[in-house]
Chains A and B, each alone.
Chain A
């Protein structure tokens, strides 16, 4: 894992590689947990929608391609 960030100052064009501070590294570790939880919730929502779609197609007795034909 890189501990440097690349910072471009757009007013001067200067590009710097700056080492993360201990605070930034700690924040990144803390963010990882929050990110994992949020990502998991988003993925669950996504999976639920895909499952709902499949269940509806099943209920209608048509395939996804047939549904596309109907809606096209």
Chain B
């Protein structure tokens, strides 16, 4: 149970969109980190959101449960998956609602993380994910990059807020 929940930084994407949101110089003074996200992309369909830590795109693995409105399934992957964002032909002004949690982000152990994510498409197809991920690095997490799948863009009003948690 978190005893403190401190907002470190928050960002909202402007009119022209963005290729990524990067939280850098993250202080090591907290126990855990949480990123709350509300994301949308400017490409049609449903598109992946992805994670990089400390500028690294290597040594990521995950397992997830996903449902898409008609089928539920589990899967594993190494594409740094952070759920699915709605695009231009999905219900207007709807965004993902997701939370990414890093326990013991400054430790010298490999870094685990968890994600829960869902969209709010007003139609049959909509993605929900529960994901457990591992970054096999002993480095303390000092930066978090959130990117859409390559060559896609985060849409205006997409937001991400980073929180630090102490003594959870």
Contact = CB atoms under 8 A, between A and B. Distances in A.
Contact of B73 (A5, A15, A50): A50
Contact of A29 (B13, B20, B149, B151): B151
Contacts of A46: 66, 73, 75
Contact-residue bracket for chain B = 35 or more
Interface string A16-36: 010010000000110110010
Of listed A13, A45, A46, residue having the most chain B CB within 10 A? A46
B74 interface: yes
A9 interface: yes
Contacts of A17: 14, 18
Main secondary structure of the interface of A (DSSP, over half): mixed
A8 B19 contact: no
B12 to A, nearest CB: 9
B11 A6 contact: yes
A1 interface: yes
